[in-house]
Amino acid sequence: AQRVTQPEKLLSVFKGAPVELKCNYSYSGSPELFWYVQYSRQRLQLLLRHISRESIKGFTADLNKGETSFHLKKPFAQEEDSAMYYCALTRYGGSQGNLIFGKGTKLSVKP
Amino acid sequence: DSGVTQTPKHLITATGQRVTLRCSPRSGDLSVYWYQQSLDQGLQFLIQYYNGEERAKGNILERFSAQQFPDLHSELNLSSLELGDSALYFCASSVGDRTYNEQFFGPGTRLTVL
């Protein structure tokens, strides 16, 4: 079955602490992975995708095919990082139509 | 606002009824996607249209249907509504339909079925 698992519903850290939001996937083909973010009272938006291999707002994510994981990391969390984070996947090189989302992790960064 | 727009924001209706949700994509975007977000199922892909044609289908119920019109706006029709259809329905759009085309999401329509 094709599935994205985000094991933590809620992750709470203090400002300046490292943060890692976990994402594991199950996919029969070659996947393309994404992280989406939804800040309070804002729309869901793309944060980053594995194929770009870039750092956005200090966040990075590396696709580990051996462990079927795509964890999102930031070395020093900021209060403005507090949001709902969703991991998603689709077939690499294909249509985006079948984006499969995890259930999300709510990140709370305390001052 | 040149972003994705969805109407109405909220919709309250009764079981057995039919509703239509509307989505206007960003200017220039040809692809429209519909998602359903519920507490137990999370965010689930329903259906995608590209330039008027159905491109991909997810776990969309037979009671649900959608279309994309020549002006590229899209409508999601939900019929014979059940309590379990209560959810937030999102629309997203992108320029193309490939994975490198970023999807831009609308604010959602919250449907409550009583």
Task: With H, G, I as helix, E, B as strand and everything else as coil, classify residue B5.
Answer: strand
pLDDT at A52 exceeding the cut of 70 = yes
Does residue A46 sit at the B interface (CB-CB below 8 Å)? yes
Give the per-residue pLDDT at A55: 83
Q: Do A101 and B44 touch (CB under 8 A)?
A: yes
Q: Do B100 and A51 touch (CB under 8 A)?
A: yes
Which residues lie below 8 Å from residue A20, measured CB to CB, with a gap of 6+?
A71, A72, A73
- Output the average pLDDT for chain B: 94
B85-103 confidence digits (pLDDT tens): 999 999 999 998 887 788 9
Task: With H, G, I as helix, E, B as strand and everything else as coil, classify residue A56.
Answer: strand
pLDDT tier at A96, thresholds 50, 70, 90: low
Among A102-111, B12-21, B71-80, B99-108, the range scoring the smallest mean pLDDT is B99-108
pLDDT tier at A82, thresholds 50, 70, 90: very high
Which carries the bigger pLDDT value, residue A29 or residue A16?
A16
Helices (H), B1-114: none
Does residue A101 sit at the B interface (CB-CB below 8 Å)? yes
Q: Do B48 and A95 touch (CB under 8 A)?
A: yes
Q: Which of A50, A45, A95, A97 is nearest to A72 (CA)?
A: A50
Q: Do A45 and B98 touch (CB under 8 A)?
A: no
In chain B, the residue whose alpha carbon lies closest to the alpha carbon of A92 is B99
In chain A, the residue whose alpha carbon lies closest to the alpha carbon of B94 is A96
pLDDT tier at B107, thresholds 50, 70, 90: very high
Q: Taking a C-beta distance cutoff of 8 angstroms, is the pair B95, B101 a contact?
A: yes
- In eight-state DSSP terms, residue B25 is P
